[in-house]
């Protein structure tokens, strides 16, 4: 997960296996960063817990290392 933009605020990366029950992963993010997830999940979201200024950009990318290519 890449968090970018010149923002002032706090956000949390959350994951879920069923799309209904989400759990926070790691500490709140308050500056642009790249967050690596060391687990496989089906659903991922970024929840903004406080934003006071600026645009916020969240980019997601991933692959299934178990896939047979």
Asked if residues 52 and 19 have their Cβ atoms less than 8 Å apart, the reply is: no
Q: What number is the average pLDDT over the span 6-19?
A: 92
Mean pLDDT, rounded, of the chain:
86
- DSSP bridge partners of 43: 16
Q: What is the pLDDT of residues 41-69, one digit of tens each?
A: 889 999 998 888 888 889 888 766 666 55
Asked if residues 49 and 10 have their Cβ atoms less than 8 Å apart, the reply is: yes
The larger pLDDT score, comparing residue 20 to residue 54, is at 20
**Structure confidence at residue 22 (pLDDT):** 95
Q: Alpha-carbon distance 42 to 30, whole Å?
A: 25
Instruction: Read off the pTM.
Output: 0.79
């Amino acid at each position: 997960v890449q968090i970018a933009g010149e923002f002032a605020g706090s956000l949390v990366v959350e994951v879920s296996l069923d799309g209904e029950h989400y759990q926070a992963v790691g500490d709140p993010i308050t500056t642009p960063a790249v967050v690596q997830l060391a687990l496989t999940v089906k659903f991922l979201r970024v929840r903004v817990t406080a934003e006071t200024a600026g645009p916020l950009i969240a980019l997601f990318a991933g692959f299934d290392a178990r896939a047979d290519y």
